[in-house]
Amino acid sequence: MTLPTPEEVRRVACVGAGVIGGGWVAHFLARGYDVTAWDPAPDAEAKLRRLVDAAWPALTQLGLAEGASRDRLTVTPTLELAVAEAQFVQESAPEKLDLKRDLLARLDAATPAGVVIASSTSGYPMTDMQTTAADPSRLVVGHPFNPPYLIPLVEVVGGEHTEEAAVSWASRFYEVAGKSVITMDREVPGFIANRLQEALWREALHMVANGEATVRDIDASITEGPGLRWAVMGPMLTFALAGGEGGMAHMLDHFGPSLKAPWTRLEAPELDRELYDAVVSGCDVAADGRTIAELVAERDRGVIDVLRATGRLGGKAEPR
Amino acid sequence: MTLPTPEEVRRVACVGAGVIGGGWVAHFLARGYDVTAWDPAPDAEAKLRRLVDAAWPALTQLGLAEGASRDRLTVTPTLELAVAEAQFVQESAPEKLDLKRDLLARLDAATPAGVVIASSTSGYPMTDMQTTAADPSRLVVGHPFNPPYLIPLVEVVGGEHTEEAAVSWASRFYEVAGKSVITMDREVPGFIANRLQEALWREALHMVANGEATVRDIDASITEGPGLRWAVMGPMLTFALAGGEGGMAHMLDHFGPSLKAPWTRLEAPELDRELYDAVVSGCDVAADGRTIAELVAERDRGVIDVLRATGRLGGKAEPR
- Read off the pLDDT of residues B289-314 as tens digits, 9 standing for 90 and up: 999 989 988 999 899 899 888 887 75
Same domain? A158 vs A276 = no
Tell whether B214 is covered by a domain.
no
Closest among A79, A87, A82, A81 to A36, alpha carbons compared: A82
Tell whether A196 is covered by a domain.
no
Give the mutation candidate from B56, B195, B267, B285 for the A interface (greatest A CB count, under 10 A).
B195
Angle in degrees, CA A311, B56, A290, rounded to 5: 90
A chain contacts of residue B54, beta-carbon cutoff 8 Å? 293, 296-297
CATH of the domain at B88: 3.40.50.720
Same domain? A152 vs A288 = no
Q: Does A289 touch chain B (CB under 8 A)?
A: no
- The answer to which of A96-105, A126-135, B235-244, B307-316 has the lowest mean pLDDT is B307-316
Report residue B169's pLDDT band, with 50, 70 and 90 as the boundaries: very high
Same domain? A177 vs A291 = no
Kindly determine whether residue A303 and residue B151, on different chains, have CB atoms separated by under 8 Å: yes
Question: What pLDDT, in 10s, does the model give residues A174-197?
Answer: 999 999 999 999 999 999 999 999
Is A232 annotated among the ligand-binding residues? Answer: no
pLDDT given for residue B320 in this prediction:
32
Question: What pLDDT, in 10s, does the model give residues B41-67?
Answer: 999 999 999 999 999 998 998 889 999
Domain's final residue, options B183, B214, B241: B183
Asked if residue A315 has pLDDT above 70, the reply is: no
Instruction: Give the count of domains, chain B.
Output: 2
Tell whether B170 is covered by a domain.
yes
Report residue A1's pLDDT band, with 50, 70 and 90 as the boundaries: low
pLDDT given for residue B319 in this prediction:
34
Kindly determine whether residue A266 and residue B265, on different chains, have CB atoms separated by under 8 Å: yes
Kindly determine whether residue A192 and residue B213, on different chains, have CB atoms separated by under 8 Å: yes
pLDDT given for residue B243 in this prediction:
85
Is A17 annotated among the ligand-binding residues? Answer: yes
Q: Does B70 touch chain A (CB under 8 A)?
A: no
Share the mean pLDDT of chain A: 93
Residues A119-158 as b or e (16 or more Cβ within 10 Å = b): bbbbbbbbbebbeebebbbbbbbbbbbbbbbbbbbbbbbb
The Cα of A78 is separated from the nearest Cα of chain B by a number of Å equal to 23
Top-confidence residue, B3 or A314: B3
Same domain? A283 vs A145 = no
Same domain? A131 vs A53 = yes
Same domain? A172 vs A278 = no
Q: Which of residues 231-250 of B touch A (CB under 8 A)?
A: 231-239, 241-244
Is B67 annotated among the ligand-binding residues? Answer: no
Closest among A95, A124, A92, A106 to A14, alpha carbons compared: A92
B191: which strand partners? none
Same domain? A274 vs A127 = no
Domain's final residue, options A149, A183, A217: A183
Tell whether B245 is covered by a domain.
yes
Query: Residue A121, CB half-sphere, CA atoms under 13 Å: how many?
Result: 34
Tell whether A132 is covered by a domain.
yes
Interface A–B counts its CB contacts (< 8 A) at 428
Q: Does A198 touch chain B (CB under 8 A)?
A: yes
- C-alpha B264: how far from chain center: 25
Cβ-based neighbour number of residue A236 at 10 Å:
25
On whether the CB atoms of residues B223 and A236 are closer than 8 A, the answer is no
Q: Residue A316: which residues within 8 A CB-CB, separation 6 or more? A: B152, B175, B178, B179, B180
Q: Is A248 buried (19+), middle (13-18) or exposed (0-12) by CB count in 10 A?
A: buried
B chain contacts of residue A271, beta-carbon cutoff 8 Å? 205
Asked if residue A320 has pLDDT above 60, the reply is: no
pLDDT given for residue B252 in this prediction:
92
Cα-Cα-Cα-Cα dihedral of B19, B22, B26, B27, to 10°? Answer: 70
In chain B the first and final C-alpha atoms are separated, in Å, by 53
Same domain? B40 vs B172 = yes
B chain contacts of residue A285, beta-carbon cutoff 8 Å? 214-216
Tell whether A195 is covered by a domain.
no
Cβ-based neighbour number of residue B134 at 10 Å:
7
Question: What pLDDT, in 10s, does the model give residues A214-246?
Answer: 999 999 999 999 999 999 999 999 999 988 888
Q: Does B180 touch chain A (CB under 8 A)?
A: yes
Give the mutation candidate from A29, A122, A221, A260 for the B interface (greatest B CB count, under 10 A).
A221
Q: Summarize the confidence of residues B251-261 as an average pLDDT.
A: 85
Domain's final residue, options A183, A211, A237: A183
Same domain? B137 vs B230 = no
Same domain? B239 vs B93 = no
For A274, the domain range is: 225-308
Closest among A156, A164, A120, A115 to A135, alpha carbons compared: A115
On whether the CB atoms of residues B155 and B192 are closer than 8 A, the answer is yes
Tell whether A261 is covered by a domain.
yes
CA distance B271 to B267: 12
Give whole-number Cα distances, B229 to A246, B131, B216, B304, in Å: 30, 41, 19, 10
Asked if residue A318 has pLDDT above 80, the reply is: no
pLDDT given for residue B317 in this prediction:
35
Instruction: Please list the alpha-helical segments (H only) found in chain A.
Output: 19-30, 44-62, 79-83, 97-110, 126-129, 164-176, 193-209, 215-223, 226-230, 235-241, 247-255, 273-287, 292-309
Same domain? A42 vs A176 = yes
Total residue count of chain A as it appears in this document? 320
Same domain? A241 vs A133 = no
Residue B88 per-residue DSSP state: E
Closest among A54, A6, A53 to A179, alpha carbons compared: A6
Report residue B254's pLDDT band, with 50, 70 and 90 as the boundaries: confident
Asked if residue A58 has pLDDT above 60, the reply is: yes
Is B220 annotated among the ligand-binding residues? Answer: no
Closest among A142, A136, A110 to A124, alpha carbons compared: A142
CA distance A204 to B275: 11
pLDDT given for residue B235 in this prediction:
94
DSSP-based three-state secondary structure for B18 = coil
Tell whether B143 is covered by a domain.
yes
**% pLDDT > 70, chain B:** 98
The Cα of A125 is separated from the nearest Cα of chain B by a number of Å equal to 11
Asked if residue A317 has pLDDT above 50, the reply is: no
Is A244 annotated among the ligand-binding residues? Answer: no
Instruction: Please list the alpha-helical segments (H only) found in B119-186.
Output: 126-129, 164-176
